[in-house]
Amino acid sequence: MIHKHGADVIQRKNCSRTENVGLSKSHSEADLPSKQAPKPKLKRSESTVQLKALPSYMVDNEFLLDYHRPELNSIMECIKSVFMMHTETWNIWTHFIGCLGVVCLAVHYFIHESESWHQSLSFAVFFAGAAFCMGCSTIYHVLFCHSERYCRFWAKMDYCGIVILIIASLPPWVHFAFYCTTYLKPLYIGVPVVFGIGALAVVLSDKYSGGDYRVLRAVVFISLGMTGLAPAIHYIATHDFFHWNFYFWLILACLFYFTGGVIYATRIPERFLPGKFDIWLQSHQILHLCVIGGVLTCYQGASKLAQYRISSLEECPGPGL
């Protein structure tokens, strides 16, 4: 019995020693760095950061507080981010879809509506200007977060596209409004081109292309658009009320552009509710929608005016260009 009892005591001590060793081993393993495979990290383009985490060159609107893409330094990562939700998502898609829409509209027009080479030329300028504007805008918003060099270059191209769109919108109107008055066409197209060159000098400069000069750029764009008022006033003053219907569309287009410019400059509505419009309905998205509305109404009016001039019984000594 004594021998058996002693064996039991020795066995319990051995078990206790084994448990203590196991506990100490588990504690020591817990203190060591985990050898488990680390959890896969999200790609940088799949994550968003707050405004305060952005480098200074990416701070374009201080009223958008969250859901910003970080600096990616990769074109492929920037392209992947197009399909994710962040502050630039709808800025990208509105003008990407708008650019495709302009291309489709141009194909439709040249196949089904264009009847002469000079008609095609004036509308080709318009379609090219609109597609260039929305295309540059799309690329800018995609590559905005690539690097400072990409951001600044494509921002200038974005502004350049707006200037070109404004100038390119005039040839169809001027050509068909003064269909028989060829000497006025160089004047009413040339003056906006000269002002447009001045506007390009402003928006392409390093000084005035930054975020601090947003209001100045808006004033430049709106002022350039106002150069189209001279041929509009001339046309309305020399034609009866029936012809005003055509220029109603041009006035509506100007209202779209003007409204978009004011909203862009004032950053409404996010100015009044910072952080509430980080994804949806921010001022830049509204500007994009206004640009699309302006392009469509401008086309509608110009195409109606062209159809009237071509189908009219009026004859000119020679329409020319």
For every one of its 321 residues, what pLDDT tens digit does the chain have, with 9 covering 90 and above? 444 444 454 444 444 444 444 434 444 444 444 444 444 343 444 589 999 999 999 999 999 999 999 999 999 999 999 999 999 999 999 999 999 999 999 999 999 887 777 778 999 999 999 999 999 999 999 999 999 999 999 999 999 999 999 999 999 999 998 888 888 899 999 999 999 999 999 999 988 888 788 899 999 999 998 888 888 888 888 877 666 778 788 889 989 999 999 999 999 999 999 999 999 999 999 999 999 999 999 999 999 988 888 887 556 655 444
Residue 195 maps to a domain: yes
Residue 316: the pLDDT is 65
In this structure, what CATH number is given to the domain that contains residue 167? Answer: 1.20.1070
Residue 299 maps to a domain: yes
d(CA 172, CA 247): 12
Which segments are annotated as binding site? Answer: 141, 284, 288
Question: How many CB atoms are located within 10 Å of the residue 96 CB?
Answer: 18
Maximum C-alpha span of the chain: 136
Q: How far is CA 91 from CA 67, 113, 156, 210, 247, in A?
A: 14, 32, 16, 18, 30
Question: How many CB atoms are located within 10 Å of the residue 80 CB?
Answer: 15
Provide the whole-model pTM: 0.82
Residue 23 maps to a domain: no
Identify whether the C-beta of residue 133 lies closer than 8 Å to the C-beta of residue 165.
Answer: yes
Residue 66 maps to a domain: no
Positive/negative CA dihedral, 280, 93, 91, 107: negative
Residue 49 maps to a domain: no
Residue 113: the pLDDT is 83
d(CA 254, CA 295): 10
In sequence order, the 6+-apart residues with CB closer than 8 A to the CB of 232 are: 173, 247, 250, 251
Q: How far is CA 300 from CA 96, 207, 233, in A?
A: 21, 37, 19
- Nearest one of 215, 220, 226, 229 to 265, comparing CA atoms: 215
d(CA 295, CA 289): 10
- Nearest one of 133, 106, 162 to 303, comparing CA atoms: 106
Residue 231 maps to a domain: yes
What is the three-class DSSP state of 101? helix
Counted domains in the chain: 1
Residue 171: the pLDDT is 94
Residue 31 maps to a domain: no
Identify whether the C-beta of residue 290 lies closer than 8 Å to the C-beta of residue 153.
Answer: no
Domain that holds residue 248: 90-311
Residue 291: alpha-carbon gap to chain centroid: 10
- The answer to whether the peptide bond before residue 269 is cis (omega within 30 degrees of 0) is yes
Which segments are annotated as binding site for Zn(2+)? Answer: 141, 284, 288
* CA 118-125-237 angle, 5° bins: 75
Joined together, the tokens standing for residue 253 give: 């287009």
